Amino acid sequence: MVEKKESTQKLFHQNKGKSKKKTTPKKSENYWNWVAEIERNEKTTKIGSAIFAFLERMGMRERVFEQSVLEYWNDVVGEKIAKIATPRSISGGILRIAVKDSTWRLELEFREEEIRAKLNKTMGKTVVIKLIFR
């Protein structure tokens, strides 16, 4: 751990005066190298900002948005629908939802556009492109 800390400090000081541009790290790039490149405009930074920046640099930002959809499901669709339809997974903008019976599945399929629009509005961007009810 001491070696990593020393190498991080060394990299940080080497990059201190250089202009910093936002680039996506290579798969072979080490986390500690990435930390050393973080632009330090202030003496401290909020942990949420640091985590978000890290996720952005690692190419995981969209995945975080997708997982957030699962958390907002109950608030967006309401208590009545949340009792009969449960989101199971989301990948590539496709949200898969388990529904208790076929009657409700048909009803929700008719309301797919409305539900999708509400989810994307809540997220502030297009995250869900399709809903699949099962």
Is pTM, for the whole model, over 0.75? no
pLDDT band at 45 (very low <50, low <70, confident <90, very high): low
CATH of 62-133, one of 3.30.300.180, 3.30.70.2470, 3.50.50.60, 1.10.1040.10: 3.30.300.180
Question: What is the amino acid identity at position 122?
Answer: T
The one-character DSSP state at 41 is S
Please tell me the predicted confidence (pLDDT) of residue 72.
92
What is the Cα–Cα distance from 108 to 99, expressed in whole angstroms? 9
Judge whether residue 80 has pLDDT over 70.
yes
How far from 8 is each of 15, 33, 34, 36, 110, CA to CA, in Å?
A: 11, 7, 9, 6, 55
83-129 confidence digits (pLDDT tens): 999 999 999 999 999 999 999 999 999 999 999 999 999 988 999 99
**Domain-wise residue ranges, the chain:** 2-59, 62-133
What is the Cα–Cα distance from 129 to 68, expressed in whole angstroms? 15
Burial 7-18 (b: 16+ CB within 10 A, else e): ebeebeeeeeee
Burial 22-39 (b: 16+ CB within 10 A, else e): eeeeeeeeeeeebebbee
Judge whether residue 41 has pLDDT over 60.
no
